[in-house]
Amino acid sequence: MNRSFSLLIVDDERVIREGIQRILSRENLRISLAEDGLQAWEAMQKQPYDLVLLDLIMPQMGGMELLERIKNRYPDQIVVIITGHATIEAAVEAMKSGAYDFITKPFLPDQLRLSLRRALEKRTLEMEAVQLREEREKSLKDIAMEKSRIQTIIHCMASGVLVTDRDQIVVLHNPALAHLLKISGDPLVGKPLPDNPLLKTLTGSIAQVLTEEGPRTISLETALEGPDPVYLRAHTAAVTGDQGEILGSVSVIEDITYLKAVDRMKNEFVAMVSHELRSPLSAIQQQISVIRQGLAGAVTEKQQELLGRSQERVDGLLDMIRDLLDISKMETGRSFQQKELLNLFPLAEKTVAFLQPQAEAKNQTLTLRTQPDLPLINADPRAMEEILTNLISNAIKFTPEGGAIQVLLKPEFNYLLIQISDNGIGLAPEDLHRIFDKFYRVKSEKTRKIVGTGLGLPIVKQLVEAHLGYIQAESQLDQGTVFKVLIPSIPGERIPDGSITVETK
């Protein structure tokens, strides 16, 4: 017995009480003694006992009366009856009334120990059963509480939530979803996805995530045009089981109509302000240029220097205005790409040649490489030139004197890869994931003197995405940066005599 059990010995004969106590003294027991039923009953009110050894014939309150009381109040109490031969029938009676076992006087020490051990084993089993029952009840309660908590959260969410099983039958949705989809009346649960114009695109993504080979998550924006346009943003994910098997889908849908309106207003405002600033700034730029050329009279060296600095500032402002107008045009969908079948190599060659003086001024090597069988792309040449110019001039700007910049064009699966690598100042991981954010510029000692707007990369990203392409950057601080742009290529269209290397320095 590892655990210490508590035992109450109830017998009016002192010899028996103490004899039993002696026999059991080596067992791991906490023993209490009572001379009759009444004393025993009082003791039991004060503390519970694992086991009661009970004599039947006693003054005051006999064993049978105590047993009845015990069974009424503590039905699980284990009681072993101690009885003389003469009262064996009474012992049987006691068993019928709920005693666990009986032992007849006189008994051998081993008989007593055996009976006691059996009783305590039962007690152990009972305690384990109680513990298991309590744990099970607690788990069930926890699960019920968790379920109700999740249900409350889903119910209160402002975003719509839609859960389907793998056959696209609606399993759960919240009131926000019904509100977003303008569904009233019949609940959707237990039915296939409703035929709702706003759900059309979403239904497609649900079907996609439910297929084994499909993506596990899809995010999309969908619009219902009309006099009161509605824009929704939905994130759909597959729900998988232990073995990765698909069990269903969960979609969270938000109404972004308001955000779209604010965004449109912001873009219109930026476009309007930029436009209004551009004309006077261009006039200032021209007039400074006229003065610097001496066409308005002699200019001293000091004045030349000051005017030169002013001109640089005005040029910077005009660059920013051009970028702002570009980005707001793209964001309001007013920038239309004039796509054509395009061989990017000559265009890259032209851009590299154009930026060559900038690289030379910093004593850098600027190399353009390509490969045979370069695929053609369907792209807007102006957009491609802007992408190349932005990425190459960034590489020049953020690479110190004497560095190397490489431009590589090559086929990659169904894409044309445009890769611009430098061995410049590089980017820390915390900056790398923010460089495509509007106006984000790394602030450090090394970038302090480099001018820019922080709009170049967001413009490049928008242009790449407008061509259904991808852009990604890899970088290590002080080692260099690689930008990779993938533009879908036209299947079967190849430029036969590729493999040209243009190297300049």
* CB-CB contact of 248 with 312 (8 Å): no
Q: How many CB atoms lie within 10 A of CB 177?
A: 23
* CB-CB contact of 375 with 409 (8 Å): no
> Considering beta carbons, is residue 17 or 441 the nearer one to ligand ADP?
441
> Considering beta carbons, is residue 472 or 499 the nearer one to ligand ADP?
472
User: Rounded to the nearest whole angstrom, what is the least distance from the CB of residue 389 to ligand ADP in the complex?
Assistant: 11
- Helix 381-397 vs helix 344-361: crossing angle, to nearest 10: 30
> Considering beta carbons, is residue 58 or 314 the nearer one to ligand ADP?
314
Q: Which residue, among 245, 335, 325, has the nearest Cα to 282 in the 3D structure?
A: 325
Can you give the binding site for ligand ADP, defined by CB under 6 A? 390, 394-395, 398, 422, 424-427, 435, 440-442, 447, 452-457, 481
User: Rounded to the nearest whole angstrom, what is the least distance from the CB of residue 464 to ligand ADP in the complex?
Assistant: 13
> Considering beta carbons, is residue 53 or 425 the nearer one to ligand ADP?
425
Q: Which residue, among 65, 69, 99, 61, has the nearest Cα to 82 in the 3D structure?
A: 99
Q: Which residue, among 469, 472, 466, has the nearest Cα to 329 in the 3D structure?
A: 466
- Residue 338, classed as helix, strand or coil, is coil
What residue spans of 157-256 are helical by DSSP H? 175-180, 200-210
User: Rounded to the nearest whole angstrom, what is the least distance from the CB of residue 324 to ligand ADP in the complex?
Assistant: 12
User: Rounded to the nearest whole angstrom, what is the least distance from the CB of residue 157 to ligand ADP in the complex?
Assistant: 36
User: Rounded to the nearest whole angstrom, what is the least distance from the CB of residue 305 to ligand ADP in the complex?
Assistant: 25
Half-sphere exposure of 359 (CA within 13 A, CB side): 27
User: Rounded to the nearest whole angstrom, what is the least distance from the CB of residue 339 to ligand ADP in the complex?
Assistant: 24
Tokens at 387, concatenated: 């992408």
- The residues near 27 (Cβ < 8 Å, ≥ 6 apart) are 1, 113, 116
d(Cα 175, Cα 101) in Å, to the nearest integer?
A: 62
> Considering beta carbons, is residue 152 or 472 the nearer one to ligand ADP?
472
- Residue 148, classed as helix, strand or coil, is helix
| Helix (H) / strand (E) containing 429 | helix 429-432
> Considering beta carbons, is residue 206 or 418 the nearer one to ligand ADP?
418
User: Rounded to the nearest whole angstrom, what is the least distance from the CB of residue 434 to ligand ADP in the complex?
Assistant: 8
User: Rounded to the nearest whole angstrom, what is the least distance from the CB of residue 446 to ligand ADP in the complex?
Assistant: 9
* Beta strand residue intervals within 301-425, DSSP E: 340-342, 365-369, 374-379, 404-412, 415-422
User: Rounded to the nearest whole angstrom, what is the least distance from the CB of residue 395 to ligand ADP in the complex?
Assistant: 5
- Residue 286, classed as helix, strand or coil, is helix
Tokens at 245, concatenated: 């098997």
User: Rounded to the nearest whole angstrom, what is the least distance from the CB of residue 448 to ligand ADP in the complex?
Assistant: 11
d(Cα 258, Cα 70) in Å, to the nearest integer?
A: 72
Backbone phi and psi for residue 294, each to the nearest 5 degrees, phi listed first: 80, 10
> Considering beta carbons, is residue 84 or 454 the nearer one to ligand ADP?
454
> Considering beta carbons, is residue 64 or 455 the nearer one to ligand ADP?
455
> Considering beta carbons, is residue 160 or 424 the nearer one to ligand ADP?
424
User: Rounded to the nearest whole angstrom, what is the least distance from the CB of residue 409 to ligand ADP in the complex?
Assistant: 18
Distance in Å from the first CA to the final CA of the chain: 90
CA angle 80-82-88, nearest 5°? 105
User: Rounded to the nearest whole angstrom, what is the least distance from the CB of residue 219 to ligand ADP in the complex?
Assistant: 24
* CB-CB contact of 254 with 232 (8 Å): yes
Omega within 30 of 0 (cis) for the link into 106: yes
> Considering beta carbons, is residue 188 or 405 the nearer one to ligand ADP?
405
* CB-CB contact of 406 with 388 (8 Å): no
Tokens at 81, concatenated: 């009856």
> Considering beta carbons, is residue 58 or 420 the nearer one to ligand ADP?
420
> Considering beta carbons, is residue 209 or 442 the nearer one to ligand ADP?
442
